[in-house]
Structure 1
Amino acid sequence: MTVLALHDQHYSLDHAAFLETLSTTQNLLIIQDLDGVCMGLVKDPLTRTIDPDYIRATRKFKDHFFVLTNGEHGGKRGVNRIVERAFRNIDAKHEISYLPGLAAGGVQWQTDQGQISHPGVSQAELNFLATVPDLIGQCLQQFFAKYPDLFPTDNQPELIHASVLDNLVSPTANLNVLAEYLGDRLDIYQDLQRTIAALLDDLLEKASQQDLDNSFFVHYAPNLGRDHTGIEMVRFATGADSGTTDFQFMVRGAVKEAGVLVLLNEYYSRHAKYYPLGENFNARQAPQNHEDLLQLVQDNFDPQLMPLIVGVGDTVTSQTEGNQVRRGGSDRLFLQLVQDIGQWAKSGNLVVYIDSSQGELKNRIPLKIGVVADQEKVIEGITDPVDPLKINVAFPGGFEQYTTLFQRAAANRSGT
């Protein structure tokens, strides 16, 4: 199967063709999410693990592979600590390399040597962000006090420690552990979701009072897309779905679709020897909507030099509410931009979906491919018949199936 034919497929399971594409394409750019894609989803981020063989494989794609995640590289809960533990466990510290690319939605840059920077983020913004974890912890304490029978004093420190992610530029309330702790007490868990959402709204107001009124936004994962004002919508829990579990206070402009432009700009600098958007371009300088992002690409990038971009993610949702379809997921918009750039440049870009529903979380939809009357493949809860995002390749076996193929492709590229 040719690359173009694979690009024309929807939810293709022809992994052999995808393997050949990764193995043989020279002008290739892989932009890949992390949680659920190259490691399993877990309730407590501190327990995440990663295969050192996968890290080794990424090195063989040097300058052709970058990550794009809403998590962070550094800090005690960052991906770098997971990488270090993976190599420590096999007594191979000398082999450690880090995952190059963007974290915190696009404002935390890292080289494969672990050098971290925050292009476009001011010290005043960093100072405000540093106050957020304690405020999330205080909010949780107040919430626990409303339900003393459910949250004994002795349990509270452990629950707060697991739920407050003190990330440097994306402090987060992670409710996975609390969702499990509350079990079938849906009304109380929904109350918790509303409480945390209200806190982060209050923090946006406090930031504006400190002349930081255009500095931050709130990212919900998973979500129901954005409302008419561009604000993301909370996905409230149901009996079978824990809904939004990550409430992230993030730097404005730190959205994955902007990160695509940063990475593409970097790719051109390494392979075409020039920066189409300038050497100092960062995610905070990118436009805020899809059409303008795509136009910026069309105005500045030579389509003849455009790589085949492979976007890889696991968080895409589509839910019908009455006559309205809510499309969301933290990977959706960056994958859509990858798709649309490929259509413009005729570069055959591929959108790859990893089924992460086998993990510990209850907010991922299992990959069950169906066919509607017009023969269009769709997945209930992930896409819909008129979804503009067309997923080309699917991995129903989850991150293990994907990373196994990725390692095989890396071996092929290295000639081993």
Structure 2
Amino acid sequence: MSSLASPSLHQQVYSLDHAAWVDQLAGTENLLIIQDLDGVCMGLVNDPLDRVMALDYLEATQRFDGHFYVLTNGEHTGKRGVNGIVERALGGKAQAQAGSYYLPGLAAGGVQWQTREGQISHPGVSEAELAFLAAVPQKMADQLRQFWQRRPRDGDSLNLETDLETVIQSTVLDNLASPTANLNTLHNRLQPAVYADLQYAMQTLMEDLLRDAARQGLGDSFFVHYAPNHGRGPDGKEILWFGQGGESGTTDFQFMLRGAIKEAGVLALLNRYYAARTGAFPLGEDFSVRQAPHSHTELLDLVKQTFDPALMPTLVGVGDTVTSVVVTEAGQPVAKRGGSDRNFLHLIQAIGQHFDTGNIVTYVDSSGGELKNRKALKLEDRRGTSVVIEGPGDPRDGDDPLVLNVVFPGGYRQYCEAFQAAAARR
């Protein structure tokens, strides 16, 4: 009696076949891994300064040199950047530089490029834009101070005489290209109504900043990224997720450069990958995410028109932030799909379907971290087949176009273990 062969990984849904995933990464020559960072290769923590990355993982990325890029909304540089985490893991900046341990790829949504040697550039970004961004962290700090000055102090768990400046230091991320207000440390310290009011206050600041930029002739330069979010509204803007029921909802309020969206970063990374293999940039040597279209269809069309199918690699996209929620509008259920990794993973999936390259969407469950805005992935093994009990999205969202091929319900540790196993055989 013959048995049917298991479908390839790109044809599976919520697969736990990590051995096959390791085999594919280890044995595929024309391979490009595009990986998120927070929650994927390190735990999610309330304070970004507490993040830790394992040396074994960093060494494993070197085995994939030329076939591995990061794609993150965080930044490489600054006191809260990923480079500092890398340097702490190595024992210092000199060691990181000497061994070329820095993670290559795009940060700040795609506008901050870094090589393995730690060389940084901001393709397509003007000095005027960087100057405007430099003033944003102070405005975020001022907004936080004004928020508590306006509020009655009873009922809040903050001691404003001693805690406020410490909170501001933890909350305001003075990133060079994507200044951010990160409310993680405040969610558990505030009453739900106060926390929701704070979310609204930060949203108001983001809108004020966009108006200020327009008055300075930079009306087309910036946008606001909410993480996590409930997708985009009809106006194309991301929908803020107000915390409720113990969930923190949106915690990161990022003021970002227009065009700095992860899905555009996929094209920029493919452009560099082709150039490294052929010496020619399909989209031009000066191409940046800021020149890319924004819609899924237009991005996919540009890939189809520009990249040689014979050279297209198998893409492995790795992320941890994918959401959906079904709401009722005009009496009908409507799915609001979001998550900062959703769109780049969906584009990788679509590229694989068009070019028949077997691209794999990989999902890492980061719900075990300190942040309370991730939905746990619950699977049950029934005769060797994983059955989804609960996924990262709304169970009522039955026609989500994004398919999660391989999942790591054990979180970043389980993912890193598999990644390191594949690297050892590379």
Shift of the 251–3 alpha-carbon distance from structure 1 to 2, 3 Å rule, reads: farther
Matched, 1:280 2:279: no
Find the aligned partners of 2:144 and 2:185 in 1 and give their Cα distance. 13
Q: Supply the AA of the counterpart residue of 1:63.
A: G
Matched, 1:191 2:197: yes
Q: Secondary structure at the match of 1:404?
A: helix
Equivalence map 1:119-268=2 (5 Å): 119-145=123-149, 146-149=151-154, 150=156, 151=158, 152-182=160-190, 185-268=191-274
Displacement after TM superposition at 1:90 (Å)? 13
Which residue, out of 387, 402, 408, partners 2:421? 408
CA contact under 8 A between 1:173 and 1:246: conserved in structure 2? yes
Matched, 1:104 2:117: no
Q: Could you list the per-position Cα deviations for residues 334-358 of structure 1 after superposition, in whole angstroms to 9, with x for gaps in the alignment?
A: 0000000000101010000000001
Q: Supply the AA of the counterpart residue of 1:103.
A: A
Find the aligned partners of 1:279 and 1:3 in 2 and give their Cα distance. 41
Displacement after TM superposition at 1:89 (Å)? 7.9
Q: Supply the AA of the counterpart residue of 1:403.
A: C
Matched residues, percent identical? Answer: 57
CA contact under 8 A between 1:376 and 1:385: conserved in structure 2? no
Q: Secondary structure at the match of 2:231?
A: strand
Matched, 1:271 2:268: no
Q: Secondary structure at the match of 2:303?
A: helix
Matched, 1:332 2:342: yes
Q: Supply the AA of the counterpart residue of 1:382.
A: G
Find the aligned partners of 1:283 and 1:273 in 2 and give their Cα distance. 20
Displacement after TM superposition at 1:3 (Å)? 9.9
Structure 2 counterpart of 1:312: 318
Q: Could you list the per-position Cα deviations for residues 11-67 of structure 1 after superposition, in whole angstroms to 9, with x for gaps in the alignment?
A: 100001001000000000000000000000000000100001111110110110000
Displacement after TM superposition at 1:114 (Å)? 0.3
Find the aligned partners of 2:46 and 2:10 in 1 and give their Cα distance. 34
Q: Secondary structure at the match of 2:8?
A: helix
CA contact under 8 A between 1:370 and 1:379: conserved in structure 2? no
CA contact under 8 A between 1:32 and 1:66: conserved in structure 2? yes
Find the aligned partners of 2:114 and 2:93 in 1 and give their Cα distance. 24
| Aligned positions, number | 408
Q: When the two structures are superposed, what TM-score results if normalisation uses the length of structure 1?
A: 0.95
CA contact under 8 A between 1:10 and 1:392: conserved in structure 2? yes
Displacement after TM superposition at 1:155 (Å)? 1.0
Matched, 1:60 2:63: yes
Matched, 1:75 2:86: no
Unpaired segments of 5 or more residues in structure 2? none
Find the aligned partners of 1:42 and 1:315 in 2 and give their Cα distance. 14
Displacement after TM superposition at 1:302 (Å)? 1.2
Q: Supply the AA of the counterpart residue of 2:112.
A: Q
Structure 1 counterpart of 2:356: 346
Find the aligned partners of 2:387 and 2:297 in 1 and give their Cα distance. 26
Q: Supply the AA of the counterpart residue of 1:143.
A: F
Displacement after TM superposition at 1:273 (Å)? 2.8
Q: Secondary structure at the match of 1:228?
A: coil
Shift of the 319–85 alpha-carbon distance from structure 1 to 2, 3 Å rule, reads: same
Deviating 4+ runs (over 3 angstroms): 1-4, 89-96, 375-381
CA contact under 8 A between 2:31 and 2:315: conserved in structure 1? yes
Structure 2 counterpart of 1:7: 10
Q: Could you list the per-position Cα deviations for residues 74-97 of structure 1 after superposition, in whole angstroms to 9, with x for gaps in the alignment?
A: 011100000000111899655451
Unpaired segments of 5 or more residues in structure 1? none
Find the aligned partners of 1:338 and 1:391 in 2 and give their Cα distance. 11
Matched, 1:385 2:398: yes
Find the aligned partners of 1:112 and 1:142 in 2 and give their Cα distance. 42
CA contact under 8 A between 1:169 and 1:250: conserved in structure 2? yes
Q: Secondary structure at the match of 1:73?
A: coil
CA contact under 8 A between 1:378 and 1:385: conserved in structure 2? no
Find the aligned partners of 2:294 and 2:371 in 1 and give their Cα distance. 30
Q: When the two structures are superposed, what TM-score results if normalisation uses the length of structure 2?
A: 0.93
Q: Secondary structure at the match of 2:363?
A: strand
Displacement after TM superposition at 1:378 (Å)? 7.6
